[in-house]
Chains A and B, each alone.
Chain A
Amino acid sequence: DVKVTQSSRYLVKRTGEKVFLECVQDMDHENMFWYRQDPGLGLRLIYFSYDVKMKEKGDIPEGYSVSREKKERFSLILESASTNQTSMYLCASTAGWGNEQFFGPGTRLTVL
């Protein structure tokens, strides 16, 4: 059974903290994505990666960075968390462009 796992389901952090969200997929997919999901806004793409050490900005990259040192792992980093980054974060992977995306269960991040 294919799987995308995320390191935490719920996370509470303080303003200014550095936050790491980890995502691991076991399907040997080249492409991985980070989205944030907010009510009324749907899913918005933060960053994506199409190969190890390769990354591209999505629609809302400000305040975020990413790291992909290994094919199966894609990390989202909030350098200095702010309250407006309180959201649900979803990781996804896909075998190729135009194919189905497989999603993790999400991390609900609250920044106080």
Chain B
Amino acid sequence: AQSVTQLGSHVSVSEGALVLLRCNYSSSVPPYLFWYVQYPNQGLQLLLKYTSAATLVKGINGFEAEFKKSETSFHLTKPSAHMSDAAEYFCAVTLAGGYQKVTFGIGTKLQVIP
């Protein structure tokens, strides 16, 4: 079984400041990890994913995440927040192999203050 914990349901940053959204996972075997973003009144779309290749993963819109096995973490970062980054972000985990469902975190709402 797998699980994911997102610390902080709401995060506020100033425009231009560093964005850091935290995600910790739990799984009995090596996981696949994802970050999705949801803009208001839309479905989720993929930001980036980790599937056991490079531990530093670059995604769309300047976001990146680092897989740290020792810390069981997959935190999402962006050096400089933009107003358009305001959205809800979901971390998700699944296991390699067939018929593995995806488990999502509760989400973190990012507010960007001008």
Contact = CB atoms under 8 A, between A and B. Distances in A.
B46 interface: yes
Contact of B43 (A4, A41, A50, A97): A4
Nearest to B100: A97
Interface of A: 4, 9, 33, 35, 40-45, 48, 50, 56, 58, 90, 92, 97-98, 100-101, 103-106
B106 A98 contact: no
A38 to B, nearest CB: 9
Nearest to B32: A98
Which applies to chain A's interface (DSSP): helix, strand, loop or mixed?
A: strand
Given A98-B32, A98-B51, A100-B49, A105 B42 contact: yes
Contacts of B99: 50, 56, 97
Chain B interface, DSSP helix/strand/loop, else mixed: loop
Nearest to A42: B106
Interface residues of B, number: 25
Contacts of A43: 44, 90, 104
A97 B97 contact: yes
Given A98-B32, A106-B43, 20 more contacts: A9-B41, A33-B101, A35-B104, A42-B90, A42-B104, A42-B106, A42-B107, A43-B90, A43-B104, A48-B101, A50-B99, A56-B99, A90-B43, A92-B43, A97-B100, A98-B97, A100-B46, A101-B36, A103-B36, A106-B42
7 contacts: A9-B41, A41-B106, A98-B96, A98-B97, A103-B36, A103-B45, A106-B42
A48 B103 CA distance: 13
A105 B101 contact: no
B85 to A, nearest CB: 19
A104 B32 CA distance: 22
Interface string B82-103: 0000000010001011111110
B12 to A, nearest CB: 18
